[in-house]
């Protein structure tokens, strides 16, 4: 789990993505499959329902 500064759970990162996980302070990620997270539309808490598209 990725947690915030209060140790509250934010989201899960599968084991196969953890080894090459890019962190904002990283200058370089060494791994065959680097993973970079896009938080452009990230929501959490009660706002997670906003990620559903309504028809």
Query: What is the predicted pLDDT for the residue at 55?
Result: 61
Query: What is the predicted pLDDT for the residue at 4?
Result: 85
**Hey, where are the domains in the chain?**
1-55
For residues 31 and 23, the answer to whether their CB atoms sit within 8 Å is no
For residues 22 and 36, the answer to whether their CB atoms sit within 8 Å is yes
Q: Where are the alpha helices (DSSP H) in the chain?
A: 15-18
pLDDT digits (tens, 9 = 90+) for 1-55: 988 889 988 889 999 888 888 877 777 777 778 888 888 878 877 887 777 766 6
For residues 11 and 1, the answer to whether their CB atoms sit within 8 Å is yes
Query: What is the predicted pLDDT for the residue at 50?
Result: 75
């Amino acid at each position: 789990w990725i947690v915030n500064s209060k140790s509250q759970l934010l989201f899960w990162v599968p084991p196969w993505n953890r080894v090459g996980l890019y962190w904002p302070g990283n200058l370089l990620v060494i791994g065959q499959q680097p993973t970079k997270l896009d938080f452009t539309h990230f929501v959490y808490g009660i706002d997670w329902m906003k990620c559903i598209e309504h028809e």
